[in-house]
Amino acid sequence: MSSLYDLGSVVSIPHRYGITYKEDKQNVVDAIGKMKPHKIVYVSCSVSTLARDAKILHEKYGYELKEAFPFDQFPHSMHVESVALLTLSN
Active centre residues (catalytic): 45
Q: Is 41 exposed, middle or buried (0-12, 13-18, 19+ CB in 10 A)?
A: middle
Question: Of 29, 40, 48, nearest to 64 (Cα)?
Answer: 40
Instruction: Tell me how long the chain is.
Output: 90
